[in-house]
Structures are given as structure tokens and as C-alpha cells.
Amino acid sequence: MPSRRLSVAPMLDWTDRHYRYFARQISRHTWLYTEMVTTGALLYGDVERHLRFDEAEHPVALQLGGSEPSELAQCARLAQQWGYDEVNLNVGCPSERVQKGAFGACLMAEPQLVADCVKAMRDVVDIDVTVKHRIGIDQIEHYDYLAGFVDQVAAAGCSTFIVHARNAILKGLSPKENREIPPLKYDYVYRLKQERPELEILINGGVKTNAEIAEHLRHVDGVMVGREAYHNPWLMAEWDAAFYGDDSTAVSRQQVVDAMLPYIRARLAEGHKLRNIARHILGLFQGMPGARQWRRMLSDAKLLDGADEGLLLQALAAMPSRLSVTE
């Protein structure tokens, strides 16, 4: 199993199975995470819809949202049964809707409850149980708060922490504003790793370039990239060689498109809609000649209606230079 040196963050409505399959065609080693799935959705909803994934997605982790230890334990067991490589507890989402469910970032105020949740999951599974969290909540901004939270949860058996290097403001800011307004404090995460070398510490928040990734890796064990990996997925094309020492997996954009064709064909046969897959690959040519045409065709409702995987080939053919897709 590759290390968690690089991973793509769990993002609601974005990192579904279609995006993850697409991302896996670009990087073979990067860890991929599901959207957050609530315990209620698994215990009382359609388990297959939430947990089904393609074997090509490995290594892949399931992120859970919840705060009841026994329910999280049941869902962690499901994660292992379905073949996930890791189960991750969300202690970072600041949305009011999530807070009403008594989970997400508000759990940082209850480290013992988080510890109980971790222990309950670890008691029933063999796969890794990890926690993704912020550095603090509201006006609590001192480093000792972060360190104390991590120590209490680590005592329950968690050894991997994914730290979004911002506070979560629980009232008054939208989820988008919570990703932008609270200042990034990377030094808190660096210090956490320096003082707790036995823990695996991953950093998250505001990472946009491979140069930034390389700098972070001088201080922590791994880097989790969020929206940049979604909007500009070709950023991941260098990751295997640059950060995993494996240049054998390098592919061209053309090869990525070719790999998506049989996948799309199979999903359409199952009743999925092309638009629900195509929306994740709009950024494949970002910054290149023809990118706008590619996005336009794959987001055109009329073209998508009733279309099959051949629309991708049509979009490629419409680009101004075929040379661009071989890079």
C-alpha cells in the first residue's frame, strides 16, 4: 500500500466514485477519499449506492460523519467489508447542517467523545482509523488546544491525523468562507509533527502547487490537496514520479480519456447518466488550447442528453490542436 504522502481531500458532491476513477487514471499512488457519508445514510439508507467503488480506486478511504461510537463502529465494519483501505472520521466540516447532526468540526470541543468514537471503530476493524480535523474552533487559536486534542485522540489508538491548518468558525461563516477567511497556520502542523514524531501527520488547506507540496513534505508526512486537485486535475500527473519515485505510471491526457471510455460505457449500461461523470473531467485540459471548447461540449445539456462515451471523442476532435492531448 502506498504511503499517504499525497491524497485528495474528501469533498461533498465532488469526490464520488466517478471522480475517483478518473483521478486514479492520472496518479496510481495518491490516496483517494470518498465524500463524507453520514452514519445514518449507511445504517438506514442505500449502502451499495454509498459504498460501491471500482477496484482500480485503491488505495481508497471512506470518510464518515457521525458522533455515536456504536453507530460509527457499525459503519467502520461496513467499510472494511466493502474493501476500503481506511476509514476516516470527519472532525473538520464547519457547516451548520453538519453541526445540527452533532458531528464535524464541533466535535473538536469534545475530544473525549472523538476518542471514544475512534476506539469503537478500532475495536471492530483491522484497517486504519484516521481523523481529519481543524487546528481549533471559533476563537480558540492557541497551539496547546490542537496538541491536547491530538494527544487525547491518539491515546485511543489513532496514529494518523489529517490537519486542516485553519480554525473552524462555527457561527457566522459559510463553509466556503471557512476555507478562505480563517488564516492558515502551517507552523502549528509542522510543530505538531516535530513534537510527536511517532504520529503520522498530514497537512491540508490552501495547497495549490507541486512546489508547495514539496515544501510541506519537508516538515510533515503527507499533503492532502482539495479543490485544486479537482479543478486542475493534471496537477496530479507529476505526483507519482516526484513524490513516490515512480515514473513508470506517466500518462498523457489522451491515455486518460481512452481509459475513461470503457468505464463510462459500463456505468451507462448500469443506468448512470453521462453528465454525472463528465462533470468531473471538465478540468482535464485547464490552461491549454481548446480547454474552453472541451468544457463547453461536456457541460452542454443538449449534447449530454442521451449521449454516450463518444461525446468525449467528439470533444477531443473539436479541440484546435490534437498535439495538446498527447502531452
Q: Which of 75, 93, 106, 117 is catalytic?
A: 93
11 is in an annotated binding site: yes
Measured CA distances, 219 to 143, 223, 256 (Å): 17, 10, 32
The three grid cell numbers given for residue 118, joined into one nine-digit string: 475512534
How far apart are alpha carbons 28 and 129 in whole angstroms? Answer: 22
Q: How far is CA 152 from CA 69, 77, 109, 209, 257, in A?
A: 16, 23, 12, 33, 46
- Can you tell me the distance from the alpha carbon of 68 to that of 46, in angstroms, rounded to the nearest whole number? 20
C-alpha span between 303 and 314 (Å, rounded): 10
Answer yes or no: is 276 a known binding residue.
Answer: no
Check whether 63 is labelled as a binding-site residue: yes
Cell numbers placing 215: 515544501
- Tell me how many degrees the CA angle 132-135-138 measures, rounded to the nearest 5: 115
Q: Flag whether 10 is marked binding.
A: yes
Residue 142, annotated as binding a ligand: no
Q: Which residues pair with 61 in a beta bridge?
A: 33, 86
Instruction: Confirm if 58 and 134 have CB atoms less than 8 A apart.
Output: no
Dist. CA 62–CA 270, nearest whole Å: 23
DSSP string, 175-186: HHHHTTSSPP-H
Q: Quick check: 28 and 3 in contact, CB under 8 A?
A: no
* Residue position matching grid coordinates 475513461: 260
**Residue 136 in marked binding region:** no
Spatial contact of 316 and 257, defined as CB atoms under 8 Å apart: yes
117 is catalytic: no
* 227 annotated as ligand-binding: yes
Cell numbers for 228: 485544486
The answer to whether the Cα torsion of 95, 99, 104, 107 is positive or negative is positive
The verdict on whether residue 25 carries a ligand-binding annotation is no
Residue 178 in marked binding region: no
- List residues forming the annotated binding site for FMN: 10-12, 63, 132, 164, 204-206, 226-227
- List residues forming the annotated binding site: 10-12, 63, 132, 164, 204-206, 226-227
Catalytic residues: 93
